[in-house]
Amino acid sequence: MSKIAQVREILEQTRELVDEVQRDVSEAIERYNLSLEEHRVAKESIKLATLDELQEALEGIEHLPQEEYEPQIVQEGYAPLEPLDPPEPFEVEEPSEGLFKAKVLGFFTFLVTLVGIVAVGGFMRHIDPLAIDESNWRQSLEEIFGFYSALVTQTPSAGPALGTALAFALAGLLGYLVYWIVANKAAARNLVKARELFEAAKRWSQEQRELIEKLRSIQRFLEEANRTITGTRLFGDEFAARVKRAKFFDGTDYEGMHPVAQEETREALQLQKRLTLLAQSDLLAQEFSIAPAIQKLYEDARTLMERLKARIYG
């Protein structure tokens, strides 16, 4: 396989690699952004309704126990997750150094050779180049190329067709030979550049693959976090209604409520605290790794949600 063909093959492999990774990372970013938006909407739903319902339900209850759930959210070194834009595409530019020069030199060689052939033929036919004008240039060329026809066929009266074909064939062959030599030297340099480009593309692809894995991990967390918010919010709405019912039947003194109503009131307090923290806390991360304090916040909310679910449904 020629060096030029190797360059083309390597470039094709590079483009295929880059296109595949670019497609995968774009899809991963699109899914990540969608999950992040769903998370924002889920948190807004807490602020717009559930917390108000819980506040209204718990408001006015006397001797209400204190909920001492105060997790520490360390923000230093972390930043909130933000939507991502697609990465800048990896540019695959075909290395073509020296190829234009090869074409120019090849064409120049073709012209010089053809002019030389014509000059030699004119000299052998004793044609004065200064005497050639618009009236006799065609006849002069026929005589010149006829010389080469006669040289090959050993026929003095041979026509110019064979000589013309031979002249153009020889000039074309020499021009192509020069082009081939220069182009192959350039191709050797371009082959090195193509291999370097392919290695750079592999490094870029590895970086993007690592980003994809991080985004997939974040997306799994977001999906579970969104489920936790929705489930906890639903229990918040339910227990707000239960506390309102207890206030209606048992009064507003916690100590005078039925034990079941007291337990439901405590659950409502826990739900209020956790939902408030979920609504107020940003998704802090470092290098797409969720802060441990944020993970613990959602784990606690999920634990409460699953406990209430198990108690109600058995």
Tens of pLDDT, residue by residue over 38-78, are: 999 999 989 888 999 999 999 999 999 887 777 777 677 88
- My answer on whether 218 and 246 are in the same domain is yes
**Which of residues 128, 162, 189 is at a domain's end?**
189
pLDDT of residue 183: 76
**What three-state secondary structure class fits 287?**
coil
**Which of residues 156, 189, 222 is at a domain's end?**
189
- My answer on whether 68 and 210 are in the same domain is yes
Confidence category of residue 184, pLDDT binned at 50, 70, 90? confident
pLDDT at 189 over 70: yes
- My answer on whether 136 and 13 are in the same domain is no
Q: Is 292 exposed, middle or buried (0-12, 13-18, 19+ CB in 10 A)?
A: exposed
Q: Which range is most confident: 86-95, 98-107, 169-178, 220-229?
A: 220-229
* CB 163, CB 121: distance < 8 Å: yes
Pairing label, strands 79-80, 289-290: unpaired
- My answer on whether 25 and 149 are in the same domain is no
**Which of residues 126, 158, 189 is at a domain's end?**
189
Residue 145 sits at the vertex; the CA angle it makes with 139 and 149, to the nearest 5 degrees, is 130
pLDDT of residue 98: 63
pLDDT of residue 99: 66
- My answer on whether 75 and 103 are in the same domain is no
Task: Pinpoint the alpha helices (H) of 154-256.
Answer: 160-250
* CB 222, CB 36: distance < 8 Å: yes
- My answer on whether 135 and 154 are in the same domain is yes
pLDDT of residue 191: 82
Task: Say how many domains are in the chain.
Answer: 2
pLDDT at 1 over 70: no
- My answer on whether 89 and 227 are in the same domain is yes
Task: Pinpoint the alpha helices (H) of the chain.
Answer: 3-45, 51-58, 99-124, 137-153, 160-250, 259-280, 292-313
Domain span at 204: 3-93+197-313
pLDDT of residue 26: 92
Identify any residues that bridge with 53 across adjacent strands, giving them in sequence order.
Answer: none
* CB 80, CB 283: distance < 8 Å: yes
* CB 179, CB 106: distance < 8 Å: yes
In 3D, which of 233, 243, 254, 241 has the Cα closest to residue 304? Answer: 233
In 3D, which of 226, 305, 280, 301 has the Cα closest to residue 69? Answer: 301
- My answer on whether 227 and 294 are in the same domain is yes
- My answer on whether 7 and 86 are in the same domain is yes
- My answer on whether 301 and 238 are in the same domain is yes
Q: Which of 112-121, 146-155, 175-184, 289-298 has the lowest mean pLDDT?
A: 146-155
pLDDT of residue 311: 87
Q: Give residue for tokens 């001797």.
A: 63
Tokens (6 digits) for 263:
């337990």
What does the chain come to in residues?
Answer: 314
- My answer on whether 65 and 113 are in the same domain is no
Please report, as a single letter, which amino acid is at residue 136: N
Question: Running DSSP on this structure, what letter comes out for residue 50?
Answer: I
- My answer on whether 87 and 201 are in the same domain is yes
* CB 114, CB 171: distance < 8 Å: yes
pLDDT of residue 296: 92
List, for residues 202-236, the tens digit of each pLDDT value.
999 999 999 999 999 999 999 999 999 999 999 99
